A and B are shown apart, each in its own frame.
Chain A
């Protein structure tokens, strides 16, 4: 293809066959075979398609793939360090912070962006950071607990590395 697009996802570069205006979400799911980001609305209204673009959580359902070249894209899959779960993933398991789990990707990604800039968010700050992430099952109270637990886990890890 003449105008081949190159994107970096979870630390690896990929040559994309899609046309430039294709939403990033379709490329991630259908070309790269990823399952973390989900299709929820295609309107940037619900947050289930979120990925990290650099350190920022963005919705991928309308974002043209051509606009993401040069950025480091991280999906739910990419949060893991090898086989080891990210503290947010551990915390979501420990708090059983899901019902159907369809919103979980977006919740974790949005929380990761929050914790990257605020290591000790208050309840209200967490709620505000996740305002764009809908959950239909009503797992919110658990998600809230999980994000706080993840903040604690991160603090522990950070503390340990300085011992």
Chain B
């Protein structure tokens, strides 16, 4: 499923040791300065989730230095290891793993050095706050800084240096405050949008009205305050003042030849299902066909996930400086090394002549327009020979960012007389959830300059995430129907297929519970053996007071998943209020129980979980990319509405800390259970079953009416 060649994905983000193979030396990860500052280098980047702080906690802990002394450098092709993309909730899990071992190795080197200097055996030494001393003679002591004297470690990371035991932790596990927030609440430059270079010019790109549109005629006679750059169908304007660039972009008159043909919105899913598809059975146990045939009851349902936008609050922005046949680029890319290779290809430069440095932007939750903006800036800086800042407009971002792809999920299941699932046959239709490989043609600028479409992506990724359930169904088959044409440019968006698949799985579990006349919590527990899974379910239910009576119009729903089937455990209980007359749904309260093993920073973790819960509520209730047969029509916050403050539910988080279990990622898991919990709560409130995201008032009203007619569920026989 994920046979990514190295030119496509790079595997360093997907394993514990991947990055350590490319960057095997302690010095690749750590430096101790003479003033005692500890510089730690991570190829991961801060995407607004607080990992800068959490990784620094890991470094301080494993190295035994005060937290304040650790300075993180993240995501810079000139300075940090290549850790591929910051994605998949892997930063703590794998990025943290690498740093932790680098620190343990460094600590061992320091103890060896101290043993010589202090003339004591390593066993006699103790480390506290970056100072090594002899246990029985504390006056004999030396600091890390003095031991190193500004020199390098010159040691390979063996993975064999002793690690601290979790019970010894004093920094990891503490709710330390985020190191980036003081700057952000006082207006200190914090974001790529705040990055300025001397002589920097402002640019805008004049975008086509639809994909693959070609320039038929261009008139730039009105442009006076800016320099226009045209390379094929790529048109940019560069000016000394930002408002001049904004004006100039409107003054370029272009007649476009449009050729895009999109299906009517209402036919989207039919169109998707009609695409040529590659079938892949991702899991099979037992004999589903036979078990279905034998089942006492057979049920089926189909669920729909629309295209959704990352909708970063700050549209993409990047700065580039091209000089002396090399280019420096600053942007909010989640993969500085992959982007570097793509830019080198686009600009026909050796990779060594491209430097990409990450600077934080607005939260992105996957691949949005950032890398494309970086390419825009690089192309324009080369054209004008000065540093250029490109700022996308709101409409640029909404119409040109790559989207979370639309998906279809269809499930058939059989129930026994005792109300147990005896057969589970799952099908999902999905394209690959990546924008492309590390080549210029996958960047918008590359497509506009060459006039070519990107080649199809020769691997399938992301859509099968959480397609299999973790329930102990005796006969289960999960089939992916990988479609090669995603219709709109597809991308990674928080959890990839994890959210749509869990929406389907956990909604259908609820449908089956209703068919079996069983409480939805009880029904899930009946099929779940894993004690950690059972515990999050029971904890969420207890915290939400699952058994209390609800008011009129109120409903509650539960959903459970283990992220990627082997990562963090999460259960969500949603409480909603539905107005049956209008179909309007208000999410009142979400309770999330979460087990991601060892907790590095409990407050940072809670923050992630709350954010996941709220953002996924917004996606479930309100969000879809809309289009006519040629153009994207969701172009701003009115046409792509997200959850507003008065619509935000209360969120209650229960953390199950397991210090002896590995730390698992938390950037995504709590986003995948929300949609089903909400849909199940709507069913609980109204008897109507909504199977298509978003749960708009019209769809909810239609579901309620179907429920009243007794058509809420699909019984096959």
Contact = CB atoms under 8 A, between A and B. Distances in A.
Contacts of A46: 313, 637
Nearest to B650: A141
Contacts of B362: 38, 40, 100, 102, 136
A35 B185 contact: no
Contact of A141 (B48, B184, B610, B636): B610
B311 A140 contact: no
B186 A137 contact: no
Given A39-B315, A89-B186, A137-B48, A131 B612 contact: no
Interface string A114-136: 00000000001001101101111
A71 interface: no
Contacts of B315: 39-41
Interface in B157-194: 177-178, 180-182, 184-191, 193-194
A155 interface: no
Q: How large is the interface on A (under 10, 10 to 19, 20 to 34, 35 or more residues)?
A: 35 or more
Given A99-B50, A136-B312, A141-B648, A35 B393 contact: no
B188 A96 contact: no
B615 interface: yes
A18 B239 CA distance: 14
A86 to B, nearest CB: 9
A131 B646 contact: yes
B644 interface: yes
The SS class assigned to the A binding surface is loop
A139 B607 contact: yes
B39 interface: no
Contact of B363 (A38, A130, A136): A136
A93 B184 CA distance: 10
B314 interface: yes
Nearest to B332: A100
Interface string A63-99: 0000000000001110010000100010011001011
B637 A100 contact: no
A150 B82 CA distance: 42
A60 interface: no
Contacts of B536: none
A139 B609 CA distance: 10
Interface string B517-528: 000000000000
Interface string B388-400: 0001011000000
Contacts of A85: 185-186
B187 A75 contact: yes
Contacts of B180: 101
A76 B314 contact: no
Contact of B360 (A19, A42, A100, A130): A100
Contacts of B490: none
Interface string B219-251: 000000000000000000000011100000000
A35 B610 contact: no
B619 to A, nearest CB: 11
Given A23-B243, A134-B313, A141 B181 contact: no
Contact of A128 (B603, B610, B638, B646): B646
A100 B103 CA distance: 28
Interface string B310-323: 01111100000000
A137 B182 contact: no
A59 interface: no
A8 interface: no
A67 B642 CA distance: 31
A45 B611 contact: no
Contacts of A42: 393-394
Interface in A127-163: 127-128, 130-131, 133-142
Given A22-B243, A99-B49, A99-B363, 5 more contacts: A42-B393, A76-B185, A100-B362, A101-B181, A131-B645
9 contacts: A35-B191, A39-B315, A41-B394, A77-B186, A96-B604, A99-B49, A131-B644, A134-B642, A141-B648
